[in-house]
Amino acid sequence: MNVLLLTSHAIAEHDDLDMFTRMGVACYSIGGAYDDLPFEGKRPAIPNVVRYPDLEEATNRQRARLSAERGDPDKRPQGGRFYVDWAKADLAPEVVDWLDTIVIHHYPEEWLELNWTKLLNKRVIWRTCGQSDLGVESRMYRYAKAGLQIVRYSPKEAQFFSDQGAFAGEDALIRFGKDPGEWCGWTGTDAVVGNITQHMMQRGDACGYPFWAAATEGLPTRPAGPGSEELPGGIGPLPYDEMRQYLRDIRVYLYTGTRPASYTLGLIEAMMTGTPVLQMGPGGFEPSGLLEVLAEYHTSKPEVMAEALRSVLDDGGDNISRLSRAKAIDLFGLERIMGQWADFLA
């Protein structure tokens, strides 16, 4: 089986390509997935990953040709749509001939719709990743009726979109996977409240910033991630190994969500490391119908969260740590996720 992977998220690309490589599935990803371009610097290159020079060459030719003919795919025409990467929005014939199955994460409207007629004899899978909305669900419903398969990443999507009358369907529920041997070793030696989010303050309510600010006022904080330098105690983005050490060191992690995602990869990594995670609950921002509560402790009241954070800072969070890691391994452990994908692809 030859699987083509389309994603617009470097870490999601890394995780899926690593997973398929471990499973022995032939997988080509149109992205910075290899030794010369390892995932935009956010993750290391994957050992043993298979290269496809002919596909890479065809991809690069297609990208260059269509960019010259059609312009920058990131530039949205007035009233139109943007396509992010022409090599994904309009697949090269050589790539289509090679693939048996295509797994699309992001931009399903742009990347699926422009390629649909090329893929009529292929297995097409939309792998949701927390970016769907009512409009996307409605469009994907039509393709599901025509053979598109949908792999959901959270049960909240079925519940929320069904309630809204716009659920495109579900062929499988498979969460994201993480290796417990890679994410482990919490010590909590740094008595601070941490968090890793891209531009939390700048994105405001979409990342639960008002809740964070109210719940952590007066507490020692050390948020990380791009844009965190603007927050009290913020340290900015961290290289991969330093980020893993950061999760081991911080005493407690306050997760405030990223609308509209039900949960994020960062939450999984913190929980699996064993970092005690406290979560902003439903109602922390609106609408919150897609938010999935995964942490052992949650509340939508920042003043109540502040007290809980103080308690963990003062007394440690060993019990929360054990529960968080056990739950993360149960839900997201890579061996389990690989087994689910193997069953589904078979």
String of DSSP letters for 255-272: E---TT-SS-HHHHHHHH
CA gap 100, 78 in Å, rounded: 36
Taking CB atoms within 8 Å and a gap of at least 24, the contacts of 135-139 are: 136/108, 136/109, 136/168, 137/161, 137/166, 137/167, 137/168, 138/166, 138/168, 139/108, 139/109, 139/113
Number of Cβ within a 10 Å radius of residue 98: 17
List all residues 6 or more positions away from 68 whose beta carbon is below 8 Å from its beta carbon: none
pLDDT at site 275:
98
Q: Give the Cα-Cα-Cα angle 329, 257, 30 (nearest 5 degrees).
A: 70
pLDDT at site 79:
67
Structure tokens belonging to residue 278? 């406290």
Tell if the pTM clears 0.85, that is, is over it. yes
Please return the burial class of 76, using the count of CB atoms within 10 Å of its CB with bins 0-12, 13-18 and 19+: exposed
String of DSSP letters for 228-257: GGGSTT------HHHHHHHHHHEEEEEE--
pLDDT at site 78:
66
pLDDT at site 284:
75
For residue 29, what are the β-bridge partners? Answer: 5
Instruction: For the chain, report the end-to-end CA distance as a whole number of angstroms.
Output: 10
pLDDT at site 342:
98
String of DSSP letters for 302-335: HHHHHHHHHHHHHH--HHHHHHHHHHHHHHHBHH
Exposed e or buried b for every residue in 157-195, given b needs 16+ CB within 10 A?
beebbeeeebbbbbeebbbbbbbbeebeebebeebbbbb
Helix segments in 74-187, DSSP class H: 86-89, 93-98, 108-115, 134-145, 155-163
pLDDT at site 215:
98
Splitting the chain (346 residues) into consecutive groups of 10 residues, what average pLDDT does each group show?
94 95 96 75 88 96 93 76 89 98 94 94 97 93 97 96 95 98 97 96 93 97 96 95 97 94 95 98 78 94 97 95 97 98 97
> Tens digit of pLDDT for each residue in 233-259?
999 999 999 999 999 999 999 999 998
pLDDT at site 218:
97
Structure tokens belonging to residue 171? 């062929």
Asked if 183 contacts 272 with a C-beta cutoff of 8 angstroms, the reply is yes
Instruction: Sketch out the chain's domains with CATH numbers.
Output: 2-178+333-345 (3.40.50.11930), 190-332 (3.40.50.2000)
> Could you tell me how many residues make up the chain?
346
